[in-house]
Structure 1
Amino acid sequence: MNTHKVFVFGLALLGASLLKAQSVMDTYKAVFTSPPQHVPTTKTPDAPLAGNGDIGITMGGTPDKLCFYIGKNDFWRAYPVYPGGIALPGGLDITIDELRGASYHAEQLPGSAEITAKFSNTYCELKLSAWVAATDNKVVIELQSNKVVTARLRLWAAEGNTSTTAQGLGKVMWVSRSFENTELLRWPTHVALALNSSTDELSLVPGKKMQLVVSAYTNHDTPDWKNKAIAEAGKVSETTIEQLRKKHHVWWNNFWKQSHINIGDSYFEKYYYQSQYLFACSSREGKFAPGIWGPFVTRDEAAWGGDYHLNYNYQAPYWGAFSSNHISLTDNFDQPLLDYMEAGRKHAQELLDCRGIYYPVGIGPKGLCTAMWPLTPEEMLEKYATRENTIDGGYKFLGQKINAVFSVGNMLMRHYSTYDKAYARKVYPYLVACADFWEDYLSLENGRYVIHMDHFNEVMPNKRNGGIWRNRLGDFNSTLSLGLVRMLFQGVMDMSDFLSVDRVRQSHWQDILEKLSEYPLGTTEDGRQSLKNMEKGPQNKDVQPSGLNRVSIHGLILPGGVAGPVTDAKFNAILLNDVAHWADKQRDPNDWGNTSNNGIETCYPGAVRVGYPSDKILSYLKKRIEMNVYPNYWIVQGGGGIETFAAVPLTINEMLLQSYEGVIRVFPNWNRGKDASFENLRAYGAFLVTSAFKQGEVQGVAILSEKGRICKIENPWKGQPVQVTRGNKKSDILYGEYLQIPTAAGEKIELNLYTNQ
């Protein structure tokens, strides 16, 4: 068999499928046969969703009383205590009495990025399409009825929570909502919604499609936010809508062409692509970063303020985007962290007498802290069963010093994935500020660096513990902290080399890496070695090994990336054994890894990386999904929202391609009896990788080198020679377990099994 020809043919088929991205992706649609039950909500909505990474729409209500909730990532009540945080701008109600009791059928289409619906009863049938323009601040809703019916329209702004509202009617209908002049408000936010209608009643007639367009702007978009929303709504025409539609389809087609997988499993492929659709609806380059619930906010007082929760919730939604080659979706991640640096330096100096930055658990945009304790002792007593509201200067650090470093993981993922010099220059000061802090905070004792009082879990007073919490302080050498600190110093050294700066500091950073305490291990009752959450607990107490779990995965694997089969095979074997015993500790038979509250996006890809069998992981993952998922394919967990969008894409990508230890591995954890293929998954080193696995053998590997770095790849054909092809010309024949291949920027190379034919 000529392996090279077979591989190229396989890639041609993949390319052809991507040319039909929209129609192919729409086959992975979500179908709704009844109205949503969890809208409005302070958490995850179960309704049809669409968005453009800034504006999101949630279609609530019944056929006769539809409500489109309009959320926006930059509409915040910039108040430092909950219920500060993300807020709801408003929405559009569409009431059609003739549809009372109508059947409900809606679809969420990832390819065309729209919601379609059909409602019918014995009197009439209504068809609906709703989408958020990918390249504009507009929501488009199209209605068509087979009978004459009247649609009553109500454009509304949410009220309360110290906001002020206004409305007007002229050529268009408009409403506005503002947060300003409230004591302690850090900055004002205004939003205007304008509808291209001068009347609140719309007559639908057979054969004619009626198009409603809502234009939405905040003062963070433009100083002229209200006039711009009104003016643009007034300019809407069929021509402008068609122009918007074309740009919308171009954007989404290009998005779906950025990468592709085929694993022969329609169930997981649907979750893979719907999850990526939902994240692309939630995050966009040049816009405010999404909070815990993205732009799908359906009422004020969203849980945890819908803020940027820094001990994993904020970081996790982005994890699947790096390897899926959707880098632009990650572009907004860094700005809130950079904006908070001045405050972080003040916290470090005033609270811990350290240089560098020290971040609380929750922040928002533009230097906002969302996570302060209640401002009065009385409110503190009511909510947390203690009057002490001056803990840590009034800020919620919750016993954790590591919050700022958590985000370094995402910065390093992007750096290693792109080797973009401009990006490295942008975030390097943040990494150095984290290094400054930990140089001061680490303690050198008996020849090793140790970490005092940085806690594995959040520690805080609450009503359950009667407001008593200090007896829970005292973690020593938390596994989470040891992993993330190791990640930090290795990463800052790598970026220092890449930018050719701060070389004089590297000897100290290297000393920290060499002398940092080892990860704590213990012996279980059945005599096996197992990971401990920390070396010692509060009051210097011994702790029993609890095995690899969600929080320790954060330190070691995601985002830590400091453990694995190449880094330390012996230690990885211990972690793999811990994963093999997860079933022993399940609280629910369908909840392997105990992720019902948090961690589905962490535990499952973590299990892949340490080498647990892929088929078992997928079997457990399916049970966990079915345990709590909504019809819109949003996997639900108790402690957070959009982070679950990373769960399936990241788990599948890690089975097909890994590169986090500086070595590319194709199909590293894939059932050798199942065919699969992928195109343009992104590997560390700024490589785009394409490969296919068929009949138990890798068919070939194509690699596009963006930056001309040396490509180190594990031999896909163990123990056999590999033919390298450059520019359609065969070049080297390589041997060995690991192949090191020099590349040039923009060069495409192919690897195939050498057959001597």
Structure 2
Amino acid sequence: MLKTNVQNSDLYNNNVGYERAGQHRIHFNGPATDFFEGALLGNGGLGVVVTTRPDAVLLHFGHNNVWDIRIAEEHRDEIMTFQEVYDRISALPADLPQLTDNPWYKEYCEMTGKNYSKAYPKPMPCGTLLLRYDRRAAEVLGHTVHIKDGRCTIDFLINDKRAVLELFVEGNYDRVWMKVTDTISGAAVPLFTEIKLLPDPETPLEFPQAEITKDAAGVISFTQVLPSMELPAVPYTPHEKDKAFRLAVRTSDLAAINQTATAAGAFACAELWEGLYTDVQAVSEKVPPSLDGYKAAQLETAEWWCDYWNKSAVILSDIFLEEIWYRNLYFFNCSVKEGVTCPGLFANWSYRTIGADWHGDYHMNYNTQQPFWLAFSSNHLDKHLPYVDMVDHVLPVSRSWAQQYYELRGAYFPHSAYPVEMTMMPYPVPHWGWEICETPWTVQSLWWHYLYSMDKDFLRDRAFQPIKEAVLFMVDYMKRLEARGEQWGDDNFHIFPTVVPELYEITPGFAKNSDCLIDLTLTRFLFRAFTEACEVLNEENSEQQLLIEVREILNHFPEYPTAESQRGRVFVSVEGEDPEVVYNVPIPVTTVFPGEHHGLHSTEDEYQTAVNSYLNHRNEGGNELVFYNLAGARLGILDLERFKRQVRYCLLPNGTCTDRVLMSGGRYSDTENFDFMSRMGIWFENFALPAVINECLLQSYNGHLRFFTNWNGQQAEFHTLRAVGGFLVSAEFKDGETAWIEIFSEAGSALSFYIPWADGALCSSSSGQHHIATGAMGTISTTPGERITIVRRQNK
């Protein structure tokens, strides 16, 4: 007789994530005066950092849509074409210590970098709301962020009685609500003596100065114009492309509050409007809603958060790993949202110059892509759509650059880009602007979106064209005369020249500028994705010629560069590289991730080379916290205890992880400040940390599900993680083995999974069918909406 040990097969929509999130509040004792100590709130568009001083509470506003939109696009005619620049570099002596020792090349790099050296574009801080109190009567004790429902509570002693300031960012509107109540009775109590708005102190002096106004109803506001011209006219003359934002706060009469406490306790609501200057002008008479709407806004926002948390959940006996998972998913929801501009390096939190380094822009050699790795396995596909919008935004300038600069078909995606109107590449300096990997990398997640959803409409309407444009460029680039021929000693198509991300730049004689490992693995991924996409969309006839070219290149594709290390054969970034080199981006593991060419499915030799590469890797820090450890999880060799220690090393008081240096010997000297990146901003990229944990629990990258492949033996449970094939997967690990698995098939894909029990598996469908799977793998046909329970086969 076959038995099942699943006690409850209805494991969906049971608020597990919402309830578990409630256990991971972020607490700070005492005044949090520093930006990086403050509470982080947001709704995916609006971001607020709440800091506390011994005399005031300050709310620093930012928004993903609000940027200093000015852009410098000079020297267009001096840049020349790629071929002209390549020919000049080729003529330089190969024995130069470095190319910039040549006066022409040094001047060329300086000229092509001048536009990027301007301070703009950059995220524009949206001002500060200051709530002052009399510290003779009141003392701040600390604050707590309740990630379950997005609230921040700040504890006070007011005349020796405990009180709490509660505030939250509304989920569906760019508003912040505030109230102060007695901790025990819940009655409203007076606290603040002054409320004021402060434009950001680092607002460019050439901008029209914002005027703070207060109307008869007590609404305080200011409007900040964001000119499109680099040097706006004085006096200011509006331009049709100018943008603006308006910050306003409605308050109760403080004198009345201080005399008679109201029952509700809500004393303020702040709201931000942003957009074109003409649109913001049109709402100049609007004010935040009446304060009696506090409760309704709070309930709607709690429901908004509940819907988010119920997309997926984990229950881990390792509390710190569970904390990492929930807290970073909280920050992710605060910082990215469908219909809002894709976040840059530092998302929607900024103040003064915090958030402005590297323009806070899109860096396409991992920074911009990394946070969205979280969206797939965590079952938040909607969070990936701002990235898709970003790809659409940069596609026209990428096409133009491919045609005019490279004189090739398709699109060459940029090293750096901005969410503003661009007509040329922001950073055309060869030593980073020639990173070829960024073109396949930019479009990679569009294919993932299809694989994890099986949404053919998305593939056809949003993904296929950008993927095809990248393929066109890569095909033409690899078929250039310089990239194939007798000079190579083989009949392969090479990726040449290129630049290893964050390493070497352009080297004399192009010594380290061909067939970079990450270029090869991502281009292979791109070509295979395009081939499969054509099959799915029945475009094989219409794309016949391009597919022939793709197959020809794949049949004459360069080998991955390797070297012999103290641990054996390893992958290196380029041929001839010392395996002891100190990296920035963890290039040697990129065939595992994001290349997805190697992993637990690989042959023994390939797997061992990948493992050696992971263990031999030396990283200077800053770009590895998620990236490197995710590759370790994919290989099933991630040391979870060491991973946790590394996370703790990078933790800030606000609960986020910053980028910190790990070692000197590469680009960093022995006297380097290992924390120099910590005060640049809130690093959006590190919110992808839960993706590392997901990969330890469930893998599906090659279309076959594996369970608990990198787990530490402790009890663990996950609910509705998303897998390739459009599957929502739940499972539990208990008493040293997988206890049960439940899978919901959204798309009706064929299900393939590694059987976690030697005795085989009993598979039961919601349709009433039963199936026994034995051996290493099980396969099941599914229909859309079908639910499958898988347990260990037991005989009685």
* TM-score interval, smaller chain: 0.7 to 0.9
Aligned partners of 1:346 and 1:358: how far apart in 2? 8
Task: State the SS of the aligned residue for 2:193.
Answer: strand
Task: State the SS of the aligned residue for 1:83.
Answer: coil
Of 542, 547, 560, the residue aligned with 2:595 is 560
Matched, 1:450 2:494: yes
What pairs up with 1:310-349 in 2 under 5 angstroms? 310-349=364-403
Letter of the 1:365 partner, please give it: P
Aligned partners of 1:701 and 1:110: how far apart in 2? 28
Q: Could you tell me how far 1:349 is from its partner in structure 2?
A: 2.1
Q: Residue deviations 1:284-340, cap 9 Å, x none?
A: 111111111111112246111111111111111111221011111112111122122
Aligned partners of 1:273 and 1:611: how far apart in 2? 22
Contact 2:347–2:684 (CA<8 Å) still a contact in 1? no
CA distance change for structure 1 residues 369 and 196 in 2, over 3 Å: closer, same or farther? Answer: farther
Aligned partners of 2:313 and 2:17: how far apart in 1? 10
Of 179, 183, 192, the residue aligned with 2:230 is 183
Q: Which residue of 2 aligns with 1:433?
A: 469
Aligned partners of 1:130 and 1:370: how far apart in 2? 43
What pairs up with 1:238-387 in 2 under 5 angstroms? 238=292, 240-300=293-353, 302-368=356-422, 372=426
Matched, 1:515 2:556: yes
Q: Residue deviations 1:34-64, cap 9 Å, x none?
A: 333542xxxxx33111100000110124142
Q: Which residue of 1 aligns with 2:148?
A: 111
Letter of the 1:166 partner, please give it: E
- Relative contact order (alpha carbons < 8 A, sep ≥ 6): 1 or 2 greater? 2
Contact 1:152–1:201 (CA<8 Å) still a contact in 2? no
Q: Which residue of 1 aligns with 2:98?
A: none
Aligned partners of 1:674 and 1:435: how far apart in 2? 44
Q: Residue deviations 1:717-757, cap 9 Å, x none?
A: 24x33222112624222223222211111111122222244
Q: Which residue of 1 aligns with 2:23?
A: 27
Contact 1:635–1:645 (CA<8 Å) still a contact in 2? yes
Aligned partners of 1:499 and 1:548: how far apart in 2? 40
Matched, 1:633 2:655: yes
What pairs up with 1:590-629 in 2 under 5 angstroms? 594-595=620-621, 597-612=622-637, 614=638, 617-629=639-651
Contact 1:452–1:477 (CA<8 Å) still a contact in 2? yes
Contact 1:116–1:129 (CA<8 Å) still a contact in 2? yes
Give the TM-score normalised by the residue count of structure 1: 0.86
Contact 1:141–1:212 (CA<8 Å) still a contact in 2? yes
CA distance change for structure 1 residues 530 and 150 in 2, over 3 Å: closer, same or farther? Answer: closer
Letter of the 1:624 partner, please give it: Q
Task: State the SS of the aligned residue for 1:7.
Answer: coil
Contact 1:135–1:244 (CA<8 Å) still a contact in 2? no
Q: Residue deviations 1:257-285, cap 9 Å, x none?
A: 11111120111111110000001000011
Q: Could you tell me how far 1:546 is from its partner in structure 2?
A: 4.8
Q: Which residue of 2 aligns with 1:83?
A: 119
Contact 1:548–1:578 (CA<8 Å) still a contact in 2? no
Letter of the 1:702 partner, please give it: E
Q: Which residue of 1 aligns with 2:270?
A: 214
CA distance change for structure 1 residues 229 and 236 in 2, over 3 Å: closer, same or farther? Answer: farther
CA distance change for structure 1 residues 527 and 63 in 2, over 3 Å: closer, same or farther? Answer: closer
Q: Which residue of 2 aligns with 1:693?
A: 733
Q: Which residue of 1 aligns with 2:615?
A: 580
Q: Which residue of 1 aligns with 2:103?
A: none
What pairs up with 1:113-262 in 2 under 5 angstroms? 113-120=150-157, 125-144=162-181, 148-158=190-200, 160-161=203-204, 162-164=206-208, 165-170=210-215, 171=217, 172-183=219-230, 187-197=241-251, 203-204=257-258, 206=261, 208=263, 209-219=265-275, 224-228=279-283, 230-233=285-288, 235-238=289-292, 240-262=293-315
Aligned partners of 2:535 and 2:173: how far apart in 1? 40
Aligned partners of 2:16 and 2:761: how far apart in 1? 34
Matched, 1:95 2:132: yes
Moved more, 399-408 or 122-131: 122-131
Give the TM-score normalised by the residue count of structure 2: 0.82
Aligned partners of 2:33 and 2:613: how far apart in 1? 39
Q: Could you tell me how far 1:224 is from its partner in structure 2?
A: 3.2
Letter of the 2:50 partner, please give it: M
Letter of the 2:318 partner, please give it: D
Letter of the 2:170 partner, please give it: A
Question: What is the aligned-residue RMSD (CA, Å)?
Answer: 2.9
CA distance change for structure 1 residues 733 and 434 in 2, over 3 Å: closer, same or farther? Answer: same
Q: Residue deviations 1:427-472, cap 9 Å, x none?
A: 21100110011001113442212111211123699xxxxxx97688
Aligned partners of 1:521 and 1:561: how far apart in 2? 18
Aligned partners of 1:520 and 1:336: how far apart in 2? 32
CA distance change for structure 1 residues 46 and 484 in 2, over 3 Å: closer, same or farther? Answer: farther
Contact 2:762–2:771 (CA<8 Å) still a contact in 1? yes
Letter of the 1:433 partner, please give it: E
Aligned partners of 2:554 and 2:711: how far apart in 1? 33
Q: Which residue of 2 aligns with 1:659?
A: 700
Task: State the SS of the aligned residue for 2:575.
Answer: strand
Q: Residue deviations 1:483-541, cap 9 Å, x none?
A: 111111111112221111144132322232232212111112x37111111125xxxxx
Aligned partners of 1:147 and 1:243: how far apart in 2? 21
Aligned partners of 2:385 and 2:351: how far apart in 1? 26
Letter of the 1:618 partner, please give it: L
CA distance change for structure 1 residues 180 and 147 in 2, over 3 Å: closer, same or farther? Answer: closer
Q: Could you tell me how far 1:118 is from its partner in structure 2?
A: 0.4
Task: State the SS of the aligned residue for 2:31.
Answer: coil
Q: Which residue of 2 aligns with 1:750?
A: 789
Q: Could you tell me how far 1:97 is from its partner in structure 2?
A: 2.1
Aligned partners of 2:304 and 2:588: how far apart in 1? 35
Task: State the SS of the aligned residue for 2:718.
Answer: strand
Contact 1:530–1:545 (CA<8 Å) still a contact in 2? no
Moved more, 134-143 or 359-368: 359-368
Contact 1:478–1:533 (CA<8 Å) still a contact in 2? yes
Letter of the 1:27 partner, please give it: Q
Aligned partners of 1:342 and 1:207: how far apart in 2? 56
Task: State the SS of the aligned residue for 2:772.
Answer: strand
Q: Which residue of 2 aligns with 1:497?
A: 535
Aligned partners of 1:103 and 1:179: how far apart in 2? 36
Percent identity reads: 22
Moved more, 50-59 or 397-406: 397-406
CA distance change for structure 1 residues 325 and 181 in 2, over 3 Å: closer, same or farther? Answer: closer
List runs of 5+ in structure 1 lacking aligned partners: 40-44, 374-389, 462-467, 537-541, 586-592
Moved more, 514-523 or 566-575: 566-575
Task: State the SS of the aligned residue for 2:534.
Answer: helix
Aligned partners of 2:567 and 2:306: how far apart in 1? 55
Aligned partners of 1:92 and 1:202: how far apart in 2? 21
CA distance change for structure 1 residues 495 and 99 in 2, over 3 Å: closer, same or farther? Answer: farther
CA distance change for structure 1 residues 548 and 66 in 2, over 3 Å: closer, same or farther? Answer: closer
Task: State the SS of the aligned residue for 2:497.
Answer: coil
Q: Which residue of 2 aligns with 1:66?
A: 57
Q: How many residues align?
A: 699
Task: State the SS of the aligned residue for 2:530.
Answer: helix
Q: Residue deviations 1:625-672, cap 9 Å, x none?
A: 22231122101114584345444311110011001112111112223x
Of 528, 534, 541, the residue aligned with 2:568 is 528
Task: State the SS of the aligned residue for 2:626.
Answer: helix
Aligned partners of 2:317 and 2:521: how far apart in 1? 36
What pairs up with 1:393-432 in 2 under 5 angstroms? 397-425=432-460, 426-432=462-468
Contact 2:180–2:191 (CA<8 Å) still a contact in 1? no
